[in-house]
Amino acid sequence: MDNGVFGYHPVPKPEHKRGKRKRGQETAITAKVDKEVYRRAGEAGYTVCEHCGCSVPRFRFERCHMLNASQYGTGRAPWNIVILCGPRNDNGSCHHWADETTEGRDWKARKQAELYLYYTAGEGRQYWQ
């Protein structure tokens, strides 16, 4: 039996790598950034929320993207990640406030600009190359 034009014609899988990283790879927080963010949040000797300054959250501390991961906010730069009180889905937490309110989103933009200057022109340069 002849398979003809529309028959089974297997083709080998290409050997080349993907040209662009997937979103999850781009937005994942790297170990180096994680270590630096916790160092920055723990400058007082213990970890504190970078918004309210509390050292004992109701539930836990969480890492928050300043530019949301859904908007391709990178996890490879410490000026895009802060430590906030969590969890994100709890109405009273700083993480929820920062992600879900207009005031919180404005704070995130200001804080990201402040952190960018800290790491590029300020004393944070000694911690991040």
Reported as a single tens digit per residue, the pLDDT across 1-22 is: 566 677 888 899 889 988 888 8
| Exposure b/e, 86-117, CB count within 10 A at least 16 = b | bebeeeebbbbbbbeeeebeebbeebbeebbe
In the chain, what are the domain boundaries?
Answer: 23-124
Residue with tokens 């929320």: 49
Q: Closest Cα partner for 62 from 47, 74, 43? A: 47
Contact 30, 63 (CB under 8 A): no
Reported as a single tens digit per residue, the pLDDT across 70-125 is: 899 999 999 999 999 999 898 989 999 999 999 999 999 999 999 999 999 999 99
Return phi, psi of residue 10, to 5°.
Answer: -65, 145
